[in-house]
Chain A
Amino acid sequence: QKEVEQNSGPLSVPEGAIASLNCTYSDRGSQSFFWYRQYSGKSPELIMSIYSNGDKEDGRFTAQLNKASQYVSLLIRDSQPSDSATYLCAVNYDYKLSFGAGTTVTVRA
């Protein structure tokens, strides 16, 4: 199984602040990278995908990819209480996705 490591958390941020989530992966051949959000007791939902080096922005979310360093990150700007969830990093290899253990984010009002 290919390794996907995430900063363990939990991460607590005040409302309105930036939450920064990090993920490293072991397979240099990986081409597709995803961030999923999972609320407690629910299934994961896709929030971001990124395939090329650099930044990709979607609303308050920014994904950053550095294939040379095998590193992908997610920034959540202007954090809201509704962003409180576990964030899963997923990396493709051989037509499958390997997931990290997740980082739990709590946004405090």
Chain B
Amino acid sequence: DGGITQSPKYLFRKEGQNVTLSCEQNLNHDAMYWYRQDPGQGLRLIYYSQIVNDFQKGDIAEGYSVSREKKESFPLTVTSAQKNPTAFYLCASSTTGSSYNSPLHFGNGTRLTVT
């Protein structure tokens, strides 16, 4: 079955450590996205990529980095520069750049806790 796989489901890290969240899709989608969700809040866009080897900052990119070396993969690194990294991270993909007729498909998310 096609879908988006995020791993791990839960991740615990000490403050000051970088951590990388994995996102793989087999839907043959061109565009991929990373969102962050905090309790009681909507989703906020961190980074997005519409094609391989190209990506753009979203609304809250500070303290995060990404790469898009393969169409199927869009890993997110949470660096030690991110002041409040504890959150629920969601990876998504779409057939085009989320324009007309292109809803997002989400992975199951990674819950990151930094202490």
Contacts and interface: CB of A to CB of B under 8 A. Distances in A.
B37 to A, nearest CB: 9
A97 B46 CA distance: 12
A1 B48 CA distance: 14
Contacts of B58: 96
A46 B71 CA distance: 23
A17 B95 CA distance: 36
Contacts of A51: 100-101
A92 B97 CA distance: 10
Interface residues of B, number: 28
A92 B98 contact: yes
Interface residues of A, number: 23
Interface stretch (A53-61, A62-70, A74-82, A98-106): A98-106
A41 to B, nearest CB: 8
Interface of B is mostly: loop
Given A1-B59, A96-B98, A97-B98, A46 B43 contact: no
B104 A97 contact: yes
B45 interface: yes
Nearest to B60: A1
B92 to A, nearest CB: 8
A94 to B, nearest CB: 8
A98 B41 CA distance: 12
A28 interface: no
Contacts of B103: 32, 34, 46, 49
User: What 6 A-B pairs have minimum CB-CB distances, sorted nearest first?
Assistant: A95-B97, A99-B42, A43-B106, A99-B43, A101-B42, A1-B59
